[in-house]
A and B are shown apart, each in its own frame.
Chain A
Amino acid sequence: EPEVTQTPSHQVTQMGQEVILRCVPISNHLYFYWYRQILGQKVEFLVSFYNNEISEKSEIFDDQFSVERPDGSNFTLKIRSTKLEDSAMYFCASSLQGYQPQHFGDGTRLSIL
């Protein structure tokens, strides 16, 4: 069964550094998403992406965050200058159409030191 893949599984970065989290969505899916889960808290929506542009973003997704689909397969989340509070599990998801269920990757655990 096709699946969403995320790399790396664990990223450790110094505060203030840039980090790029990578995702390969399911190949024929058109909608892409990033979520995050701070330890012990809810899974929170960050951003959705369709037709090469952001369709919705949350308050969390400020100017330090950006997303890109640089080619036909990858979908990336960049954090320009990481803060301690960015430490979380980041999940990528994709769906074939907007009204269809989202399929999630296994997540990238981001640790900011």
Chain B
Amino acid sequence: GNSVTQMEGPVTLSEEAFLTINCTYTATGYPSLFWYVQYPGEGLQLLLKATKADDKGSNKGFEATYRKETTSFHLEKGSVQVSDSAVYFCALSDRGNQGGKLIFGQGTELSVKP
């Protein structure tokens, strides 16, 4: 079945460091891919998305490129801030306009130190 695998956390970085959180997926067909972020005590917020191969999603300095050949959707940011400390979830949706459920990775906790 469809699945998402993320790198394990926690990831601890200093402010202004480069961030990569790896995400790979297994899916039949052509899923849409998402990154969600969960700040402490809050719900899941959509960070960015990509709906087809080679699409790049970007938001708030974060980027991820849909790589069909490597079945990956790695999250990157050039310079992290303390306020980026949160749990990041990679997810896929495989039913298109039929109201597709999201399948999540296990989440990666990011802690950014001043």
Contact = CB atoms under 8 A, between A and B. Distances in A.
Interface residues of B, number: 27
A41 B106 contact: yes
B43 A106 contact: yes
Interface in A37-86: 41-45, 48, 50, 55-56, 58
B101 A56 contact: yes
Contacts of A55: 98-99
B42 interface: yes
Contacts of B51: 99
A4 B49 CA distance: 19
A45 B103 contact: yes
Given A42-B106, A43-B89, A104-B43, A99 B101 contact: no
A58 B41 CA distance: 26
Given A42-B104, A45-B103, A103 B97 contact: no
A101 B106 contact: no
A45 B101 contact: yes
B111 to A, nearest CB: 17
Given A42-B104, A45-B102, A98 B97 contact: yes
The CB with the most chain B CB atoms within 10 A, among A91, A104, A105, is that of: A104
B78 interface: no
Interface of A: 4, 6, 31, 33, 35, 41-45, 48, 50, 55-56, 58, 91, 93, 95, 97-99, 101-107
